[in-house]
Chains A and B, each alone.
Chain A
Amino acid sequence: MVDLLFYVAALVAVLTAVGVVLARNPVVSVVSLLSCFGSLAVIYLLAGFQFLAAIQILVYGGAIMVLFLFVVMLLNLGGLNPEDEDRDDPLFHDRRRSAGGLAVAVALGSASLIGILRGARHLAEPTNGLVPPEEGFDALPALAEAMFTRYSLPFEAASVLLLATTVGVMVLAKRQRSIPPAGEERS
């Protein structure tokens, strides 16, 4: 039952991911990617990672995709006007480049798939039967302890990165006095 749910979620994830690439309208791409991330959150939840599932929805659903949608709407790329650019087939507009890109993707995908399926029997035997403990694989106390001891340097680096981004984005977006991007300070 739960396994079946995983395959349903996986199918939805793949279909919506294809939708992201194929959609002519950026807004449809955003909605598609949002559903893809939603089904990934479901998969995390099924696999026993409750905290990651919540973080996935919180950060991707609540912030990043809103930002994408905001920019698409701000620049009015919604494709409701006929003179928009990706109106023609988005994949095969430039046949040569598209063919190259697709070839790379297919080669990469099939190589890793073959590798995974052939190497599957060499994977370590799961000692836990893959059944998550009561509080999940990502129990918060253990996670927090590792985050602030062993990983304290990457943690600090991430905070510096976020600070630098905040400043950098403001500089980038504030060159003219016009509409600021989402989530950034308005002067």
Chain B
Amino acid sequence: MSVPTEHLLALAAILFAIGVAGFFTRRNLIVVLMSIELMLNAANLTFVAGSRLHSSTGAVQVDGPIFVIFIIAVAAVEAAVGLALVIALYRQKQTVSLDAFARLED
């Protein structure tokens, strides 16, 4: 594939922006979590693009892929904790709308 690096980066930027839009506008907690996953994936794509740019056939640049693997691990952790929280919150209020959890004291 000879797609220039900036096109991969542009795709990552677009995906990240969509994730931000979802994060700020949606009220459904689960969709908000999914938007975060989307943003993390956009970050992964930038690492992939950079690693592809700086690798040469003799010396493979492994830092990019390794960072992607760590990010995926963190994303899995975030999803697990986030969804457990969603379930705990749902038990209290029978809803997953962010509006219901705007106040700390209850």
Contact = CB atoms under 8 A, between A and B. Distances in A.
Instruction: Decide whether A and B assemble into one complex.
Output: yes
Interface of A: 2-3, 5-7, 10, 13-14, 17-18, 20-21, 23, 26, 29-30, 33, 36-37, 40, 43-44, 46-49, 51-52, 55-56, 59-60, 63-64, 67-68, 71-72, 74-75, 77, 85-86, 90-91, 93-94, 97-98, 100-102, 104-106, 108-110, 112-113, 116-117, 119-120, 123-124, 126-133, 137-139, 142-143, 146-147, 151, 154, 158, 161-162, 165, 168-169, 172-173, 175-176, 178, 181-184
B87 A108 contact: no
B81 to A, nearest CB: 6
B30 to A, nearest CB: 5
5 contacts: A49-B52, A105-B18, A105-B20, A143-B62, A147-B66
Contact of A102 (B13, B21, B64): B21
Given A17-B18, A86-B27, A173 B84 contact: yes
The winner among A23, A173, A178 for most chain B CB atoms within 10 A is A173
Contact of B74 (A29, A55, A161): A161
Contacts of B30: 26, 29, 68, 71-72, 77
Given A154-B70, A161-B77, A10 B11 contact: yes
